[in-house]
A = this chain, B = another copy of it.
Amino acid sequence: MTAWTNRDTDAFAELLTGYCLDVQPGQQVLVRSTTLAAPLLSPLQRTILAREAWPLLRVDLPGEDEAFFALARDAQLDGFPSIARAEAEQADAFLTIQAPENTRGLADVDPARLARVTRARAPLSELRLARRWCGTLWPTPAGAQQAGMGSERFAAFVRGALLLDRDDPAAAWRALGAFQAELIAGPLADAREVRIEAEGTDLTLSVAGRTWANSDGRRNMPSGEVFTSPVETSANGVIRFTVPSSPRGVLVEDVTLSFRGGEVVDAHAARGQDYLDRTLATDDGARRLGELGIGTNRGITQPIGAILFDEKIGGTVHLALGRSYPETGGLNESAVHWDLICDLRAGGRLTVDGTVVQQDGELR
């Protein structure tokens, strides 16, 4: 992709191993991606070696996960190999790079099979989350197709979202982190009631006593959001999510949720109603909110169908059904964590304790 020069790719690798993971000598760095990310994986190997650490590349073949879900037997769905635990226990840092050959690769997999694997491997996730970790994306043709762009423009778009077009990307991320810290220390400090208004949307919820997290690109690259966990019983009203969502490769569009006492009491999707209904029925926590996030990344100007990017769009807010982040004070438990995005840029408002914090997508 000529939109990326080798210098861009080297800068990306440097950003990931430096700013995001802060790789130290002797560390074991587990890098998971697909063969399509090879142009990034090579400089990653080099920069990790240069940091006198161990690059452990785990490169999936395109379709490898699809084949697994198609063919796995019970013991394979409900367990994991001991070597996977050893990796999760002994690695010092985990880097996951989305680089799909087909963003709909898992769309036909029975969600129950996906859920079994997620449940069985939860101990591995916990081990990973307790270490240094980062998730990012490499622009593939499938990603471009999902975004509705040519591969060239998509690559340029991703570069912009990653702030790789800045002279010093790490400094740009630090600056965004500082901006978000001011947001948390300023208008969001001691926030109690949040109200979201837009066409078809008027929702209130409480964040009283909850902590706001500053997502500054160390764990999600790109990032650019602040988020917290709403009080689980507090959501009331209706919200319409106009940005399409692709959980596990399934396309779900134009979701409207009505809440009473924190719980979803009505749910409608223009597309993907069945997936929506089944997801809400997963467990009790799936009908309550686990996250409220505010996107701040001005480099991400339009949705591309990858939640890593879409939830960071400057001028949007997102809510997640299901599991909350304990570090923000959230108590909701669920096998589900589904981010849904409400775009406020075309006429919307975010109000905190009666003060407008964001109007038509612009932070005040």
Contact = CB atoms under 8 A, between A and B. Distances in A.
A172 interface: no
A82 interface: yes
A67 B41 CA distance: 12
A90 B25 CA distance: 26
A50 B82 CA distance: 19
A122 interface: no
Contacts of A52: 73, 75-76
Contacts of A46: 67, 71
B82 A28 contact: yes
B86 A83 contact: yes
Interface range on chain A (Cβ under 8 Å from partner): 35 or more
A87 interface: yes
Given A49-B76, A71-B49, A90-B82, A41 B26 contact: no
Interface string A24-61: 01101010000100100110011001101010111111
A135 to B, nearest CB: 20
A326 B104 CA distance: 53
A63 B52 CA distance: 19
Contacts of A58: 58
A67 B83 contact: no
Given A57-B61, A81-B56, A86-B83, A50 B71 contact: yes
A72 interface: yes
A221 B332 CA distance: 54
A68 interface: yes
Nearest to A54: B81
B61 A59 contact: yes
Interface in A101-139: none
A81 B28 CA distance: 7
Contact of A45 (B56, B67, B75, B83): B67
A76 B91 CA distance: 16
Contacts of A38: 35, 61
B57 A42 contact: no
A22 interface: no
Contact of A28 (B54, B59, B60, B83): B83
Contacts of A63: 42
Nearest to A51: B73
A28 B84 CA distance: 10
A274 interface: no
